[in-house]
Amino acid sequence: EAQVTQNPRYLITVTGKKLTVTCSQNMNHEYMSWYRQDPGLGLRQIYYSMNVEVTDKGDVPEGYKVSRKEKRNFPLILESPSPNQTSLYFCASSGTSGSHEQFFGPGTRLTVL
Amino acid sequence: GQQVMQIPQYQHVQEGEDFTTYCNSSTTLSNIQWYKQRPGGHPVFLIQLVKSGEVKKQKRLTFQFGEAKKNSSLHITATQTTDVGTYFCAGPNSGYALNFGKGTSLLVTP
């Protein structure tokens, strides 16, 4: 089954404790992206990657890091989380041919205390 | 930069009533995509429109792309409770990135 998986699905942590949210897709997609969703603000892009070892900032990259060492994986790293990073995070992927529709993971709800 | 604006932010209808959400871009779009997010779920792709003036239908859903390719709409005829969710439009940004509107949340009361 074609899918994007994220782990963990829920996470409560404390300020300053480094964390990683994993994202993996099994569709051989070149493009992957991270979004955060906050009430009233919609989906805002954090980082995206066009292919292995190619990443770029989205609209709200501050406080986040990413890496793309393998085509299928695109982890999101919060080196020193702060309460304003409490949010719902989605990973997405798409191919580079056809409609470029994005396939979203199930989401990770992060709370930073 | 390109901005995609959606109205209304919220819409509450009685089951059986029609619903429309509108999407406007500050720049001409090469295409526009629509997504639906059910409560507690993740966005799911609905459709992509590419041509100026294009109209596509999916059962009770009708999607339109404006002649100038700067606006789009999604119309649902005779809403059902299964239509509840947030509808997003998205225009292409640099590369394959998408710029999402803030979405319209639809509530349908039986």
B1 has a pLDDT exceeding 70 = no
A 39-98 near B (Cβ less than 8 A): 40-45, 48, 50, 56, 58, 90, 92, 94, 96
Q: What's the rounded Cα separation, in Å, for the pair A11 and A46?
A: 19
Q: pLDDT for B33-87, tens place per residue? A: 999 999 999 999 999 999 999 999 999 999 999 999 999 999 999 999 999 999 9
The reply to whether residue A42 touches residue B100, judged by beta carbons under 8 angstroms, is yes
Q: What is the mean pLDDT of chain B?
A: 95
Which residues on chain A are in Cβ contact (under 8 Å) with B101?
A: 42
Distance from CA of A34 to the nearest CA of B (A): 10
Is the confidence at residue B102, as pLDDT, over 80? yes
B96 at interface of A, judged by CB pairs closer than 8 A: yes
State whether residue B104 sits within 8 Å of chain A by CB.
no
What tens-digit pLDDT sequence spans chain A (113 residues)? 889 999 999 999 999 999 999 999 999 999 999 999 999 899 999 999 999 999 999 999 999 999 999 999 999 999 999 999 999 999 999 988 777 899 999 999 999 99
